[in-house]
Amino acid sequence: MERVIVPELLGDGISAELSESVHAVAKALPFPVAFEPVDLSWERREHGFKEAYDEAEAKIRAHGIGLKYPTATVRESPNAQLRERLHFSVIHRPVRTLPGVATRHSGKVDLHIVRIATGGTYDDAGRRIGKDVAVSVRVIERKPCHEAALFAFRLARRLGTGVISTSKYTIQRMTDGLFEEEVKVVATKFPGVAHRCELFDALLAHLFMRPEDFQVIVTPNEYGDFLSDAACGMIGSMGLGASASYSFSSEGDALVGMFDPAGGTAPDIAGKGIANPTAALLAFAMLLEHAGHAETGRALEAAIHGAIEAGEKTRDLGGSLSTSDFTAAVASRLKLP
Ligand code: ATP
């Protein structure tokens, strides 16, 4: 069987342990996976960060995929560097209730947040005008709106569901208006996929009250940022999910996909063998789905959920398993296609 080549960007803190866990699970798959490591640790970046990013960019471009582990932001932000170099325009963040993880919220969340990765209020830090006034420019560009909408509608069609676009289009009439206008253009190409707009503030309240009403949401950068964290709060964890960043061809097909766990570098537990690899394994599952092994990716996700639901948990979730024991529990639950 053809092997999958995965450039992996190794970072700081618990990065090495997370990577070991992914390698162990990869060995249990029915096809060979070859990892091509790139050292993106601060130790390396400190002494020549251009070379480190050049290597990461080249390897990811060569294979169209990459798996990124947590990196410390000391000087430059590795995520921002990679986004600029690889022209990531869309971030896909699935947020799902994890059975067996305590939450204050009783509703079941199974949500895909499709967020424009650039612009909004995040591209301009603003400037002071005199002592008491500051301004910043908010940027909405048609191209990433189009790409995000296309991604969302294709995803919704695959999942057999609709798309909700959300922004403050009644107030930000030009900027969010342009976003919603482009979503509507894309919607016309997907007559079988229902679409409606919802104002962002109302959507938050609606989501907290009835999360089961939401499947695929597409939104500009900053709203997507707020929404991702809010949804993670609903499922009881900021660090158990993964996200994917994509760049696209002119036809809207993904050129490059980079997958990364949501959590940070956790220097306080690095090297102790107790880190929870769930998010890294979910990132790997997303990568497999994207790389043409959809069933294997979904099987891996199911194995992770199954292990946690059965109480096979690492310490951060109230269990007692080490990183490698949890990894073994996941691997043993893999029901491969
Ligand atoms: P960074 O600056 O990279 O964000 P941080 O330690 O400030 O690092 P996180 O990495 O998000 O922020 O960690 C916050 C807390 O959650 C820490 O106590 C850390 O040990 C814990 N934590 C984070 N990731 C994991 C993980 N994968 N497994 C177990 N505990 C984790």
Q: What is the pLDDT of residues 53-63, one digit of tens each?
A: 999 999 999 99
Q: Which atom of ligand 1 is nearest to the CA of 277?
A: 27
- Whole-number Å distance between alpha carbons of 326 and 282: 14
Q: Which atom of ligand 1 is nearest to the CA of 239?
A: 24
Query: Which of 212-221, 229-238, 254-263, 268-277 bottoms out in mean pLDDT, i.e. has the lowest?
Result: 229-238
Best CA proximity match to 9, nearest among 87, 82, 83: 82
Q: 99 CB contacts (<8 Å, ≥6 apart)?
A: 305, 308, 309
Average predicted confidence (pLDDT) for the chain: 96
Q: Which atom of ligand 1 is nearest to the CA of 280?
A: 27
**Per-residue pLDDT at 100:** 85
**Per-residue pLDDT at 44:** 95
Looking at residue 161, what DSSP letter applies?
-
For residue 15, the CA-to-ligand 1 centroid distance in Å is 11
Q: Which atom of ligand 1 is nearest to the CA of 70?
A: 3
| Ligand 1 atom 12, closest CA | 264
What distances in angstroms separate CA 30 from CA 26, 66, 128, 277, one per listed residue? 9, 20, 58, 21
CATH of span 1-102+257-337: 3.40.718.10
Best CA proximity match to 254, nearest among 94, 86, 111: 86
Tokens linked to 285: 């599952």
Is residue 295 within 8 A of residue 316, CB to CB? The reply is no
Q: Specify the residue for token string 């059975």.
A: 99
What percent of the chain clears pLDDT 70, i.e. is strictly above it?
100
> Could you give the residue ranges of the DSSP H alpha helices within 197-255?
200-209, 221-234
- Give this prediction's pTM: 0.95
| Ligand 1 atom 17, closest CA | 266
Residue 1 has pLDDT above 80, yes or no: no
Task: Indicate the top mutation candidate among 17, 265, 322, 326 to test ligand 1's pocket, ranked by most ligand atoms within 8 A of CB.
Answer: 265
Q: 28 CB contacts (<8 Å, ≥6 apart)?
A: 331, 334
Alpha-carbon torsion, ordered 276, 279, 282, 283, to 10 deg: -130
For residue 194, the CA-to-ligand 1 centroid distance in Å is 39
| CA-only gyration radius of the chain, Å | 20
- Whole-number Å distance between alpha carbons of 155 and 165: 14
Higher pLDDT, residue 108 or 9:
9
Give CATH 3.40.718.10 domain extents, the chain: 1-102+257-337, 103-235
Polymer length of the chain: 337
| Ligand 1 atom 4, closest CA | 264
- Pocket-forming residues, ligand 1, beta carbon under 6 Å: 14, 70, 72, 239, 263-269, 275-276, 316
For residue 219, the CA-to-ligand 1 centroid distance in Å is 27
CATH of span 103-235: 3.40.718.10
Is residue 4 within 8 A of residue 33, CB to CB? The reply is yes
**Per-residue pLDDT at 199:** 98
For residue 144, the CA-to-ligand 1 centroid distance in Å is 31
| Residue-wise pLDDT tens digits, 178-225 | 999 999 999 999 999 999 999 999 999 999 999 999 999 999 999 999
For residue 113, the CA-to-ligand 1 centroid distance in Å is 23
Residue 294, classed as helix, strand or coil, is helix
**Mean pLDDT of the region 80-109:** 92
The beta strand positions in 52-200, using DSSP E, are 65-68, 90-96, 110-116, 127-129, 133-135, 163-167, 195-199
For residue 264, the CA-to-ligand 1 centroid distance in Å is 5
Residue 326 backbone phi and psi in degrees, to 5: -65, -40
For residue 148, the CA-to-ligand 1 centroid distance in Å is 30
**Per-residue pLDDT at 2:** 83
Q: What angle do CA 222, 226, 229 make, to 5 degrees?
A: 140
Q: Specify the residue for token string 């410390």.
A: 72
Tokens linked to 246: 């994509």
For residue 18, the CA-to-ligand 1 centroid distance in Å is 12
| Ligand 1 atom 11, closest CA | 264
**Mean pLDDT of the region 12-21:** 98
